[in-house]
Structure 1
Amino acid sequence: MNILILGSGGREHTFAHQLSQSPNCSKLFVAPGNAGTAKLATNNPLSVTDFEAVKELVLSEKIEMMVIGPEDPLVNGIVDFFSQDEKLKNVAVIGPSKRGALLEGSKERAKEFMSMYNIPTAAYESFTKESLSAGKEFLTTLKPPYVLKADGLAAGKGVLILESLEEAQQELENMLTNDKFGSAGNTVVIEEFLDGIELSVFVLTDGKDYKILPTAKDYKRIGEGDTGLNTGGMGAISPVPFADEGFMKKVEERIVKPTISGLETEDIDYKGFVFIGLIKVGEEPYVIEYNVRMGDPETEVVLPRIESDLVEVFQKVASGNLSELKLKVKNEAAATLMLVSGGYPEAYEKGKEITGLDEVENSIVFHAGTAEKNGKVVTNGGRVLAITSFGKDFPKAIKKSYQNAEKIHFDKMYFRKDIGFDL
């Protein structure tokens, strides 16, 4: 079958890498793609939120399956756009409907959903510009640090964790009245701070049944020892050593089952991934957030561990027959290291030539922010490349990724040297 992947990052290159290995994949397209996907598929330079352009591509190339990488098209309703169009409704689309995507598109909706289905999460209240003074008052009832979350999509930057009450009250005002995060901050969720260790659990669902994918842990801060600014992710490992069988049983019973059951109860069309951001407090799991797609760079450690034919897996999801699937997963651990542009996550330059890619051995290099220019691969984003390696355990895997990172060069290249340090 002809397949289209929407998106341009490391996550989408990983999807392309896995799908292209299936005998069921005839032609593969990525829109817009990057220099890495260009080696496996046909790139198309369209915007992922230009649904008419996506429709044109799907019809002209006779696309039968579409896999949606990023959250924007999902939150904007691309699945509904396809299901309501006579010419598109038979395309197998991997991703939730607009109602389903609200679990990521609105922090307030996600909190209400968790509350309704008794899913463990931090205590919270929501506030708008009109209730600013009540929000400031609510902050005085909490212990520091204070957690403020913009309700809408803010490109992963809409969460503030602050130590001082005065600063928290000032930032609440900035978000609600000074448009610090634009319209994403029209409503702000204030929640209690949970102290523990974080991990990600990925679930694939057809809206009724589910499969839990390998666990992963990513590293968000730019600096070693988890210091400095938040990024889209500087590396990841899978599986997570502290997510043992007993803990994962709690996650499944208290979080995964009620989540899927809630989607079914509300008759939400949801065929795709649920990314559950968790925190382990003592031995108990709590949900920090839902995302409605795979994470990045977690995709780069989770998907390569799946041995099942990914096209067949997605066909079962799209047809509502996921219960028939027996998911095969590699026993080996995987570790991913991100190579980023100097200055990221703040201002950085693009267009730097990348060398050494052909010298990498025993690892997979996934392109995140790259482009081709005059036959050369150049940087085209903050997070540039993801190096994924396998090993008996994650320290052996990450060691391989570090060895290969030394072979790759571009001006001002940076990576963290302590991925997995806290485990």
Structure 2
Amino acid sequence: MNILVLGSGGREHTFAYMLAQSDRCDTLYVAPGNAGTARIATNVPISVTDFEAIKECVLKNDIGMVVVGPEDPLVQGIADYFSETEALKNILLIGPSKRGALLEGSKERAKEFMLQHSIPTAAYASFTKESLNAGKAFLDTLKPPYVLKADGLAAGKGVLILQDINDAKQELENMLAHQKFGDASNTVVIEEFLDGIELSIFVLTDGEDYKILPTAKDYKRIGEGDKGLNTGGMGAISPVPFADTTLMNKIEERIVKPTIMGLKKEKIDYKGFVFIGLIKVGDEPYVIEYNVRMGDPETEVVLPRIKTDLVDLLEAAYRKELHRIALEVDARAATTVMVVSGGYPEAYEKGKEISGISSVEDSIVFHAGTAVKDGAVVTNGGRVLAVTSLDSDFRKALKKSYQNIEKLSFDRMYYRTDIGFDLS
């Protein structure tokens, strides 16, 4: 089977890396890809939201499966486009329908879904420009910190957590009246703040059955000790040490099962991944958010632990046959540490030549923001490389990742040295 992966980051390089190991994968394409995917697949210079160009690529290259990495094409309805296009309707597209993707495309829709299906989450209310004053009054009823979420997609930047009530009111005004996040903040969800420790649960579902994939915990802040600005993610660990059997049973019974049953009850076509961002408050799990695809950099630690053939797993999800397949997981821990451009997540320069990748041993280097220029691998994004390692526990795996990062070099290279600092 010829397979196409849509996307250009570390998540998509990880998918390509795993799919390429399957005996069932003949020719692998990645659109648009990066310098890492170019080594194991054929990169195709196509935008992930150019559905017509994707159609031409699929038909021209006799592609049988399309794995959608990022959220944008899902929210824009690529699954519906395939199912409604005669020439594409039998292609195995891994990703939910447009209705299903609204769980990530609209924070308000996600909260309504949780409320409707009795899934534990923080108390909330939604506001628009017209109800700005009511939003400010609602903030007065809450205790700090104050959580403001742009309803739509904002490239991971649409969530603000503020300590001062006046700052919160000003930022609410900036979002609603001055479109701080563009159309994404036409509606803003204000949430009760939940104090606890976060983790991520990944579920592969065919809309009826599901497989819970390995747990992961990522580190969003740019600075040591999880301080500073939010990023797309600076590193991740799998499994989560505190996700014991008791907690996982609560998560499955109270969150995973009601989520899948909710999709089924609402007759939502969903063949793909559900990424559930959770927070453990005391001993109880609550949902912070849904994503409708795999996370990044969590993918870089979750997929390498899956021993079941990934093509088989994804095909079973598409054909509603997940109940027939066993999920085998590597008992070892996996860690990834993200190497980023100086200045990220604010202004940074591209085009810096990267050296040392070929010197890495006993770790996997997943490319996140790279390109090839004049035969050399250069930086092409804020998050540049993810160095993933496996070992008997996460501390040993982290040691490998950090030892190999020391072999890498590019101008103003930065990484956090404390991934996993809060775990015992």
2:413 matched to which residue of 1?
Answer: 413
Shift of 1:325: 1.0
| 2:333 maps to 1:326 | no
TM-score normalized with structure 1 length: 1.00
CA distance in 1, matches of 2:245, 2:410: 42
CA distance in 2, matches of 1:226, 1:359: 30
Q: Deviations over 1:166-198 (max 9, x none)?
A: 110110000000010000000000010000000
SS in 2 for 1:270: coil
Q: Deviations over 1:127-152 (max 9, x none)?
A: 00111000000000000000000000
1:296 matched to which residue of 2?
Answer: 296
Amino acid at match of 1:187: T
CA distance in 2, matches of 1:167, 1:364: 43
2:65 matched to which residue of 1?
Answer: 65
CA distance in 2, matches of 1:105, 1:250: 26
SS in 2 for 1:314: helix
CA distance in 1, matches of 2:124, 2:100: 21
Residue ranges of structure 1 left out of the alignment (5+ in a row): none
Amino acid at match of 2:399: K
Amino acid at match of 2:93: V
Amino acid at match of 2:20: S
| 2:202 maps to 1:233 | no
Q: How does 1:180-259 map to 2 (within 5 A)?
A: 180-259=180-259
SS in 1 for 2:279: strand
SS in 1 for 2:133: helix
CA distance in 1, matches of 2:4, 2:304: 19
The structure 1 segments of at least 4 consecutive aligned residues displaced by more than 4 Å after TM superposition are none
2:314 matched to which residue of 1?
Answer: 314
1:151 matched to which residue of 2?
Answer: 151
Shift of 1:297: 0.2
1:121 matched to which residue of 2?
Answer: 121
Q: Deviations over 1:342-400 (max 9, x none)?
A: 00000000000000011000000000000001111000000000000011110000010
SS in 1 for 2:115: helix
Q: What's the C-alpha RMSD, in Å, of the aligned pairs? A: 0.3
Shift of 1:286: 0.1
Q: How does 1:355-394 map to 2 (within 5 A)?
A: 355-394=355-394
CA distance in 1, matches of 2:335, 2:399: 9
1:10 matched to which residue of 2?
Answer: 10
Q: Deviations over 1:107-130 (max 9, x none)?
A: 000000000000000000000011
How many residues are matched?
A: 423
1:164 matched to which residue of 2?
Answer: 164
SS in 2 for 1:48: coil
CA distance in 1, matches of 2:45, 2:348: 23
CA distance in 2, matches of 1:129, 1:365: 45
| 2:330 maps to 1:345 | no
SS in 2 for 1:262: helix
Q: Deviations over 1:290-319 (max 9, x none)?
A: 000000000000000000000010110111
Residue ranges of structure 2 left out of the alignment (5+ in a row): none
SS in 2 for 1:64: strand
Amino acid at match of 1:245: T
Amino acid at match of 1:25: C
CA distance in 2, matches of 1:218, 1:333: 14
2:97 matched to which residue of 1?
Answer: 97
Amino acid at match of 2:255: I
Q: Deviations over 1:72-114 (max 9, x none)?
A: 0000000000000000000000000000000000000000000
1:263 matched to which residue of 2?
Answer: 263
CA distance in 2, matches of 1:180, 1:373: 35
1:140 matched to which residue of 2?
Answer: 140
SS in 2 for 1:96: coil
Amino acid at match of 1:348: Y
SS in 2 for 1:90: coil
2:32 matched to which residue of 1?
Answer: 32
Q: Deviations over 1:6-65 (max 9, x none)?
A: 000000000000000000000000000000000110000111001000000001001100
2:53 matched to which residue of 1?
Answer: 53
TM-score normalized with structure 2 length: 1.00
Percent sequence identity over matched residues?
A: 75
SS in 1 for 2:327: coil
Shift of 1:401: 0.1
CA distance in 2, matches of 1:410, 1:166: 42
Amino acid at match of 1:118: S
SS in 2 for 1:389: strand
CA distance in 1, matches of 2:108, 2:246: 30
CA distance in 1, matches of 2:119, 2:244: 20
